[in-house]
Amino acid sequence: MFELWKAAFLGVVEGITEWLPISSTGHMILVNEFVKLQVSENFWNMFVVVIQLGAILAVVVIYWNKIFPFSLKKGKPFIKKDIFEMWFKIIVGVLPAAVVGIPLDDFMEEHLNNYQVVSIALIVYGVVFILMENRNKRKRFEITHMSQMTYGTAFKIGCFQVLSLIPGTSRSGSTIIGGMACGASRTVSAEFTFYLAIPVMFGASLLKLLKFGLHFSAMEVQILAVGMIVAFLVSIFAIRFLMSYIKKYDFKAFGYYRIALGLLVLGYFMLMG
């Protein structure tokens, strides 16, 4: 029962940090020092990725009307062409991370999944957020609606998403920075980030499941299920909070938080080492 409470807590952490641009990996590494699941290392490496499926289902639920291209009109099925076209743009945006990430997955996990890399990434991208928002104070964004997103812009944002393969960068953080750098408003950048997450997280989770295998113990199934369900519920609130927040404020607060967390992680592990 205590392990399930731990899984629930990790689900809360995942649900919040997956969508806010503050790095879910950085938080999971730090939390794992204090709330360590009594599971194998292989299961833990799979758990921290597959738990994201719960988070991504929140996007599907919240944005269902904007992402599902099929509907009924006067009792007859029809295709929403604008949504169908958006999915092609999402595929274009996903390609760079897929091309780079799939062959380098094992290398990244073995060589970059450590507190030094995570800490540096947290701090560096925290500084980038602050500098970018200072530059954007008087900037008028060219792309203020999802329909204005071009294939070229989607591809450029996808290239920024490749940066998130480095632990501690934050997938949402890298794509939001990429979106704003390409002229998309904060809300469009965040929303497109959510859409990109759907195929990326499903693909990453499938890859981890295939590597781990399907030989779960009963307790492992329960731990994974609890983590995913809690991540789903918390993600709904986190996504709505972020979209409401950025309509009034910029991302600088997240930049300062990232720097503080990066220094905390770096200091903690150096002292413990």
Q: How far is Cα 171 from Cα 230, in angstroms, rounded to an integer?
A: 20
Residue 43 lies in a domain: no
Residue 30 lies in a domain: no
Exposed / middle / buried, residue 107 (Cβ in 10 Å: 0-12, 13-18, 19+): exposed
Residue 72 lies in a domain: no
Give how many domains the chain has, as a whole number.
1
CB-CB contact of 141 with 181 (8 Å): no
Is the pTM higher than 0.85? Answer: yes
- At 69, the amino acid letter reads P
Phi first, then psi, for residue 2 (nearest 5°) are: -65, -35
Of residues 176, 95, 170, the one with CA closest to residue 136: 176
Residue 36 lies in a domain: no
Residue 44 lies in a domain: no
Per-residue pLDDT tens digits for 172-186: 999 999 999 999 999
Domain containing 115 equals: 2-25+50-66+80-272
Q: How far is Cα 253 from Cα 259, in angstroms, rounded to an integer?
A: 10
Residue 254 lies in a domain: yes
Residue 202 lies in a domain: yes
Per-residue pLDDT tens digits for 226-261: 999 999 999 999 999 999 999 899 999 999 999 999
- At residue 34 the predicted structure's pLDDT band, cuts being 50, 70 and 90, is confident
Of residues 65, 24, 56, the one with CA closest to residue 239: 56
CB-CB contact of 204 with 164 (8 Å): no
Residue 205 lies in a domain: yes
Whether residue 29 has pLDDT greater than 80: no
